[in-house]
Amino acid sequence: MESSLSLAYSPCPNDTYIFAALTNGMLADAPKVNVTLLDIDELNAAAAAGTYDLIKVSYGAIPYLMDHYRILRSGGALGRGCGPLIVALPGKFGSLNDANTARFAIPGERTTAFLLLQLALGLRPATTILRFDEIVEAVARGRVDVGLIIHESRFTYANDGLIQVEDLGAWWERATGHPIPLGAILIRNRVLDAARIDRLIRASLGFARENEAKIMPYVRAHAFEMSDDVMRSHIKLYVNEFSDDLGETGVTAVRDLFERAQKAGLIPATQPIFVEQR
């Protein structure tokens, strides 16, 4: 196994919670991990450039990355009741269909959120790309008509006077019955013993659950702009049984997302490649 690995993920509490033990030397027999924290659109771009051995990406970006990466079954974000939201000022739009000619602020073109938006609308809307934490303000100030929000913004958008137009996670669950695949950890094909790294990520998550007092200072340090309540709500929502292992339920959800997006002409034809557990 490699003596050191490069790893990139977001500063969001779910990622820092899962990886705190692994990246801070709290696990025995784990390699040294050199960490970079990036916004999700930056992560998707870094994966396309092949910059890191391990990297958190959107499922919407994965179809463009399968030549060089495989999907780990642990450490990602997949679940129910945790999908992206469409938000706007009150009185502007009664439903998502009412907004099909509006300009959307989105967190990136290869995010799962934007993929879901196009599937739900049945078209590609006009967009402005903003960092995920700038979208709510842009909508509240009228710089764009509608916002596609992810991460902790789902807990705070009402504070800026916005209302929910659509929950794309709920739309997906109604349409498919599956949990929503949001993000995954990819590992470069050249990295040896991927199954062991998958196990180390699960061990890191297990350590966090059993030793929160040791890892929460790291999580808190990167969540400095959010309250403790929002930070805890974020972890509770996005860190779940699928963070340990996608399982067949998760794998099926990912395959269905790819198939639907391919049929709609939104992504290239490809098959997700998962690291098998051993």
Query: Does the pLDDT at position 96 exceed 80?
Result: yes
Convert the pLDDT of each residue in 112-156 to its tens digit.
999 999 999 999 999 999 998 899 999 999 999 999 999 888 888
Contacts for 88 with CB less than 8 Å, ≥ 6 apart: 99, 102, 139, 145, 146, 147, 162, 163, 165
Q: Is the dihedral of CA 144, 61, 246, 258 positive or negative?
A: positive
**Is the whole model's pTM more than 0.75, yes or no?**
yes
* CATH class of this structure's domain 85-176: alpha beta
Taking the domain 4-79+180-263, which CATH number applies? Answer: 3.40.190.10
Q: Which of 97, 146, 147 is nearest to 123 (CA)?
A: 97
The domain limits of the chain are: 4-79+180-263, 85-176
The residue from 151, 178, 222, 234 that is catalytic is 151
Q: What is the pLDDT of residue 278?
A: 60
Q: What is the pLDDT of residue 224?
A: 74
Q: 222 catalytic, yes or no? A: no
Give yes or no for a contact between 204 and 22, defined as CB atoms under 8 angstroms apart.
Answer: yes
Q: What is the pLDDT of residue 46?
A: 96
Query: Does the pLDDT at position 69 exceed 90?
Result: yes
Common-topology check for domains 4-79+180-263 and 85-176: yes
